[in-house]
Structure 1
């Protein structure tokens, strides 16, 4: 089998800090770690995911920070993204009726012309990544989002590690109460699954955005994959069998996160990879799933029940 090379380029050094987890951007002006998510969710779900990183949706307090946040976001997010501001009263034109979820003062705004406007029963703040301007949106709207955490508080993935809960080499994730292992090794789906089964588990099944987000952070290399053959991703346990998608561990398929236009090529692409790192020219695919043929991928994720 032809094994193509994985060609990567990483974020420039000034944006990365050893204090931030893999893939997080270091914001020097405020000593924060920023993590960008392309998956579109409502405001409260976004805030809950940020909480798993010991942080909140990002707050912005001056023009310098606004330029930095929007400049980084537009590299990965096309359109609007949640900021961490929410209105506490119907009059959205009054700054006193807004608050940041991280508890800091709402002391800076960068509204586009005609904003802010009432959006229904709730109002939250979105950033237009291309213009750096702000506008209101109903909090149930689904948008990508930006998390922020103190550099000293930002966990290095895996986010929660309690060794006594898991077999050696595995990491426990509290929200699912399962243990996971990321093995970086070029291999095909069958061999990857055999390795997981040898540990008493199986290739990872994913049942929520929170679990998907954890596994992206857990397995990403922090670089952008330039390989046109799509062999720089991470195997998970979703397979197409008996005319339907099934998890190899037998759990129910109650959540999917396919990339745009996926699954496709259903005559031969019956296996699934998690796109933990973005692909050059196809950033919208990062953190999502791609159905693939039986080619080698750069890594695979195992999942096993905890010891307790």
Structure 2
């Protein structure tokens, strides 16, 4: 299984009575009850903090090595489209002989310095985190960098149930995952993906597009999955690679062409796309979309002439009782 997914799943947690969501966007971590916002614009440390404050957030302050791991894992997706970056600002500055938080000027409780850091340079008063390792460096505050903001997650009464990871996939999984992993369940055979706050079923039984959508809808009230962002595309790609067996090369997603217009099966307009080069084709018989298991790029195929595995996206189940 992809190492990033292992980290995210091992740290997934929902309280006994409520689940959480990011009401103003961001990547959710229920484990830390926070939302992480990856800001792609290059800003000074001061301007990055000001940017976070525009939506009642603050530059990231890490409190543990576990949180450092999950933010490093999420950063892979959050900054995926940004070229030539190696680190991002976090919310601390050297003040009064101590590294302190920018919001309340409290002393840092957790440190994750890289080797030979912090440096002795007089102007290295701010902290950046390595995009690759998550280790910290002291740097001049005026340098332009991407940044990570945090906001508090908000509570929702929908609570997914718990279940053990389905071990039926033929792909090898690390023994530590099989022993420790306790994935949150949304319904029968569904997987709760924390950062998407949603329920997903990876079904290897092959069906035509229409029958796959029918199965998603009738069994759990869901639809073929809707992939409306690059982050979601990358995350589901990693899950699909880890769950589907090796012989799966593509799978249905919830896009079809009706009267010449591409739309999701829930009726919403397609805004984000990930077409493979040369697609979509103009063939009138190729009206439904599959994603490549290795690249997640889209191709359009005959809806009835192909039978493929598929991913269902289901509504959250559980209790409404907080």
* Fold shared, TM-score > 0.5 on shorter chain: no
TM-score band by shorter chain is 0.3 to 0.5
TM-score in terms of structure 2 length: 0.41
Q: Which has the larger radius of gyration?
A: 2
TM-score in terms of structure 1 length: 0.42
